[in-house]
């Protein structure tokens, strides 16, 4: 009796896994169809799901005066309470799209731990992690990634892997 129950559960799991693989393949094809998604996916750690979610959450990038404000739009800026002589800095505001915020945090985690290729974003995040801690650095990298996504959508460029040092004469 137990074997029958386990076999039916394994069959259901196999069906769910094949459906997930099919949806993942369709999302990848959908993301590759749009030029904006392909440009956003040049950021290390950003895949089709994150690119599609961020682009749909941003919708019209022209409503941001600067790309930096996209981090605040996703709720990745520090919460602040000021009253008279009191000035408290708290955790992040958690305003905006929770799914995109979670995806950007995952992008930051992947960038800081899995991506082997050098980039100025990774270098900045690792230096920040040594100074303020890994979790806070991940939030900061997620905020900066949101700003980079907005900048890419705004000016039509791709992610810059290395920043060239200016040559001095």
Instruction: Write down the pLDDT at residue 80.
Output: 79
- The whole-number average pLDDT for the span 137-159 is 94
- The whole-number average pLDDT for the span 104-112 is 96
Instruction: Write down the pLDDT at residue 85.
Output: 82
The string of pLDDT tens digits covering residues 13-53 is 999 999 999 999 999 999 999 999 999 999 999 999 999 99
Residue 43 near residue 144, CB atoms below 8 Å: no
In whole angstroms, give the CA distance from residue 106 to residue 46. Answer: 9
In whole angstroms, give the CA distance from residue 165 to residue 84. Answer: 45
Instruction: Write down the pLDDT at residue 83.
Output: 83
- Of the candidates 160, 156, 154, the one whose C-alpha atom is nearest the C-alpha of residue 65 is 154
The string of pLDDT tens digits covering residues 63-86 is 998 998 998 899 998 887 888 788
Return the number of other C-beta atoms located less than 10 Å from residue 43's C-beta.
23
The string of pLDDT tens digits covering residues 109-136 is 999 999 998 899 999 999 999 999 999 9
Instruction: Write down the pLDDT at residue 169.
Output: 46
- Of the candidates 97, 93, 94, 92, the one whose C-alpha atom is nearest the C-alpha of residue 136 is 92
DSSP 61: G
pLDDT band at 164 (very low <50, low <70, confident <90, very high): low
**Residues 6+ away with beta carbon under 8 Å from 117:** 44, 161
In whole angstroms, give the CA distance from residue 110 to residue 146. Answer: 15
pLDDT exceeds cutoff 90 at 90: no
Q: What is the pTM of this model?
A: 0.84
Residue 154 near residue 67, CB atoms below 8 Å: yes
């Amino acid at each position: 009796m137990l074997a029958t129950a386990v076999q039916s559960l394994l069959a259901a799991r196999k069906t769910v896994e094949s459906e997930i693989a099919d949806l993942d393949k369709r999302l990848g094809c959908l993301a590759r169809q749009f030029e904006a998604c392909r440009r956003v996916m040049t950021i290390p750690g950003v895949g089709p799901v994150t690119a599609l979610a961020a682009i749909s959450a941003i919708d019209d990038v022209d409503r941001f005066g600067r790309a930096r404000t996209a981090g605040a739009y996703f709720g990745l800026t520090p919460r602040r309470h000021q009253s008279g002589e009191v000035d408290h800095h708290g955790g992040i505001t958690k305003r905006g799209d929770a799914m995109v915020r979670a995806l950007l945090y995952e992008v930051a985690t992947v960038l800081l731990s899995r991506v082997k290729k050098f980039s100025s974003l990774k270098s900045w995040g690792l230096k920040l992690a040594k100074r303020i801690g890994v979790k806070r650095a991940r939030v900061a990298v997620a905020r900066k990634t949101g700003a980079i996504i907005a900048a890419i959508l705004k000016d039509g460029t791709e992610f810059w892997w290395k920043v060239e040092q200016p040559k001095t004469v």
